[in-house]
Structure 1
Amino acid sequence: MKQVIYCSLTSKIFSLCLVLLLSFSTALIAQEGDPANGKSLFNSNCAACHKLDKPMTGPALRNIEARLADEQGLDKAWLSAWIRNSSALIKAGDAYATKIFNEHNGTAMTPFPQLSDQDISDILAYTAEKVDPCVANPQPGCPNYVAPTSEGGGQGGVSNDLILGALALLFALLAIALVLVNRTLNRFAEAKDIEVFTSQDKRTPLWKAFVQNQFLVMVTAIVFLLASGYFVYGYFMQVGVDQGYEPVQPIHYSHRIHAGDNGIDCKYCHSSARVSKTSGIPSLNVCMNCHKSISEVAPETLAEGTDFGVDYNAEIQKLYDAVGWDGTGYTGDSKPVKWIRIHNLPDFAYFNHSQHVEVGGIECQTCHGPVEEMEIMYQHAPLTMGWCINCHRETNVKVKDNEYYTKIHEELSKKYGVEELTVAQMGGLECGKCHY
């Protein structure tokens, strides 16, 4: 009987210990962070002010939990309290919280009370991940590092010098082959007693025969004059036409990434196009609206840049140097950027962006081409007088929900007997519209 009771009691104690052990293990597992989920949470909540490996608006967060424990003796509970409400720690007089607050010019960290313990564990697990620096930021000396070059490729590509050298060698071999063939043919002719004519034989020179034929001389002169006139006219008609002009800017700006991949509206940067004659050059402050938080591009985007011979991260650093941004604030040491103008109309031609963009509802791509596909901006259209006139002749005025044209559209519709009016029918071909 005692043995049965003892066995039953032992079994219950063992079961209880097993339950406690499993509960404790589950609690430990629950507190272990998921780096993949932590990366997503970090990007959506922390990346606006923090980077992992260098300071930004806030300090670098790589191994932040371990660093605080080693350097300040602060545990995870303190870190969780700081993340959820840093202002409360500062008001409570916490020494380290006050120090951090003062070091960052009295800028309080945004509170995140919505983050659970598991969310914070996931974020900390992501910050504690060991990352190969050569993968995160390839540098000279890293395995398989390919340095971008101005020709648009890396060291593994074929350079222009190599191609030119190969072509020169090919032409040299061809010339040698022709000489050898000529010698062989001469020897063959001598062996067969075949007469070979040389340049020293007495024959009527071709130029003398040509000069003696007066009709042929006259026809040739006329063809020459007509061809010369054609090419001279074509040359002068291209004066001032810069279609295809693609200058290298002091800071590389990819419209393909900004307007294409990221879908940024053209008028976000060129805001004056809505209200002004000119579209304007965006101030660098517009760039910094985003690039305060974006100092590096994604690795896959960085790899795309090597195809164009561009290091996007280095170009962002040029922007920082121009505005005087050190990663945490403005230093006041700024310098102008000498942008190169691409589209330039003659002084005697008037063009108003707001009239076309805001009133006319013309898309930017109509004149500037597929900007969202351009890695380097270039002049897409010829911008000649004939090109503008053809557009005015073919383009119907957008009058729907446009009070600007309501009255004049009604009057001119009756005059021409049509429902839709082209720009030309509304006076778009008058000289004074563009020249005054």
Structure 2
Amino acid sequence: MKRLKIVALTAVLGFFAATVNVNAQDVAEGEQIFKNNCAACHNTSDETLVGPGLKGIGERRPLDWIVKWVHNPQAVIASGDKYANDLFKKFNQAQMTAYPNYSEDQIKSVIAYIDAQAAPAAPVAGEGGAVATTPAEGSSNGGMMQYILVALLGVMILVLVALLSIVSSLSKLASVDPNSDEAKNVPFFQKIAENGKKLAANSAFKTGAALLITLLIGKATIDTAYGVGIHQGYAPEQPIQFSHKLHAGQYEINCNYCHTGVYKGKGANIPSANICMNCHNVIKRESPEIQKIYRSLENDEPIQWVRVHNLPDLAYFNHSQHTNVGGLECTNCHGEINKMEVVEQRSSLTMGWCIDCHRKTEVNTKDNAYYDKLVELHNKENKEPLKVQNIGGLECSKCHY
């Protein structure tokens, strides 16, 4: 069983601010490294998570010491270094992961990111391959609904004509002198019944009523058909009560830490129990929910997580193409996961929903030579920005074989 990952890179990273030449690229690279490897155990503030908070850590240790620690923390501890041993004991002698492949420049970039987080907040330009947009729900059947609404309007006109006929009949009935022989000889309810029969015999009323009933049944059928396979709002009970609000929200653990394929694979991957134990080998071991993980490992039985987001087999979807190449955030499709106690499917994930996103989403071609010629050709005939639909985003074969 793996020991807890106290990520040393962030536990001791930092050096005197005067020695760091910070630029936007350093911060961006450092942010990616930090979120993918460090955020599970450390905050950039003073708050202790699994490991210590990192705000002001640069004033505590010099850069050369940090590099040695990151590359081989156990060697630094074995050397008798007081600071390293005090840190090791403070956090219950939890082992950390060594990162010998990180260069000094990469370590500096993480430090730059930590320092930037401690600085006053400023607007930061987003990165990635696409400008995120939220497609409108229900766009797939919008055209059909327009036709239905027009038809309903016609039916309402026919019903209005029938109602006017009823009013005319009632007006005639009211105009009869109640003292006349005609009024005295015909009971009130009989008069209503007679007028009802006349209304039922009215061809305009019968046609309108038949059309209205037919359209209502048709609309209900279409709505039901469009709802087949759509599980928007689906929030099944899981075998272990895992809170994304706590882990991804409060502790700001990057999605990639648990879902290891989200940036580099076709699927995001369901985290294994061993990933959970990186933290829970030490944290909240007595919790009944955590004990379920222990039992799973002891019995060598996988946790039977219930899938929430599920596309049909006929549709091809690649996570890395959207998150890594396209630069989309998880919230674009999954909603505000960091605020969910129980994960639910927020988007419809229908074909129309995806196509609508491809029609609206602009491709970020900045500093990407791959798109230069394509952008040049696109701008000759179109004044609109280059969008996903312009690079094959609406081709059937992109998602269906």
Query: TM-score scaled to structure 1, two decimals?
Result: 0.47
Partner of 2:201: 214
Q: Which residue of 2 aligns with 1:424?
A: 389
> 1:435 and 2:392 equivalent?
no
Q: Does 1:353 find its partner at 2:319?
A: yes
| In the alignment, structure 1 residue 319 sits paired with structure 2 residue 293 | yes
Going from structure 1 to structure 2, the CA distance change for 1:400 and 1:372 (only over 3 Å counts) comes to same
Residues 1:342 and 2:331 aligned together: no
Deviation, 1:399, is: 2.1
Partner residue of 2:239 out of 238, 250, 254: 250
**Preserved CA contact (<8 Å) 1:399 1:409:** no
Deviation, 1:318, is 1.2
Residues 200-246 of structure 1 deviation map (CA, whole Å, 9 limit, x = unaligned) = x9944978864542223332222111111111111111111111000
Structure 2 alignment gaps of length 5 or more: 1-46, 53-76, 93-186
- Match of 2:265, as an amino acid? S
Q: 1:364 aligned to 2:330?
A: yes
Cα offset, 1:414, TM superposition:
4.0
- Name the CA distance, whole Å, in 2 between partners of 1:268 and 1:44: 16
Contact 2:261–2:268 at 8 Å: present in 1 too?
Answer: yes
Query: What is the count of residue pairs matched by the alignment?
Result: 229
Contact 2:285 2:291 in 1 (8 A): no
The 1:206/1:247 distance shift into structure 2, 3 A limit, reads farther
Structure 1 CA distance for aligned equivalents of residues 291 and 191 of structure 2: 70
What do the CA deviations read for 1:344-369 (whole angstroms, capped 9, x no partner)?
A: 11111111111101111111100000
What is the CA-CA distance between 1:401 and the residue it aligns to?
3.9
Cα deviation, residue 109, structure 1: 11
The CA distance in 1 between the partners of 2:395 and 2:296, in whole Å, is 45
Query: Alignment partner for residue 282 of structure 2, among 264, 288, 293?
Result: 293
Structure 1 residues not aligned, in runs of 5+? 1-39, 46-107, 124-200, 298-312, 325-332
Instruction: Give the AA of the match of 2:307.
Output: R
- After superposition, the Cα gap between the structure-2 partners of 1:412 and 1:352, relative to the gap in structure 1 and judged at 3 Å, is farther
Instruction: Check 1:408–1:430 CA distance in 2 against 1; reply closer, same or farther (3 A cut).
Output: farther
* C-alpha distance in structure 2 between counterparts of 1:218 and 1:279, whole Å: 55
Distance, in Å, in 2 between the alignment partners of 1:346 and 1:116 is 53
Residue equivalent to 1:64:
none
The one-letter amino acid paired with 1:349 is A
- Equivalent positions of 1:231-242 (< 5 A) are 231-242=220-231
Match of 1:374 in 2: 340
AA partner of residue 367 (structure 1):
C
Identity fraction in percent:
42
Moved more, 259-268 or 391-400: 391-400
Distance (whole Å) between structure 1 residues aligned to residue 278 and residue 193 of structure 2: 73
SS in 2 for 1:273: coil
Whether the 8 Å contact between 1:412 and 1:426 is mirrored in structure 2 is: no
How far apart in 1 are the matches of 2:304 and 2:83? 46
Separation in 1 of the partners of 2:376 and 2:84?
A: 64
Q: Please report how far the alpha carbon of residue 259 of structure 1 lies from its aligned counterpart in structure 2 after TM superposition.
A: 0.4
SS in 2 for 1:347: coil
Alpha-carbon distance in structure 2 between the residues aligned to 1:203 and 1:419? 69
SS in 1 for 2:261: helix
Q: Aligned pair in 2 of structure 1 residues 401, 217: CA closer, same or farther (>3 Å)?
A: same
Does structure 1 conserve the Cα–Cα contact (< 8 Å) formed by 2:243 and 2:342? yes
Residue 369 of structure 1 aligns with an amino acid whose one-letter code is G
Report if the CA contact (8 A) 1:269-1:286 is conserved: yes
Greater Cα radius of gyration, structure 1 or 2: 1
Q: Which has the higher contact order (CA 8 A, sep 6+)?
A: 2
User: Residue 424 of structure 1: CA displacement?
Assistant: 0.6
Q: Does the CA-based 8 Å contact 2:255-2:262 persist in structure 1?
A: no
Q: CA deviation at 1:320?
A: 1.7
- Hey, what's the Cα distance between the residues in 1 that align with 2:283 and 2:356? 43
Residue in structure 2 matched with residue 276 of structure 1 by the alignment:
265
Q: 1:220 to 1:414 in 2, by over 3 A?
A: closer
Q: Quote the offset at 1:416 in angstroms.
A: 3.6
1:389-408 matched pairs, under 5 angstroms: 389-402=355-368, 405-407=370-372
2:123 is aligned to none
Q: Relative to 1, partners in 2 of residues 1:116 and 1:376: Cα closer, same or farther, differing over 3 Å?
A: closer
- What is the deviation of 1:408? 5.1
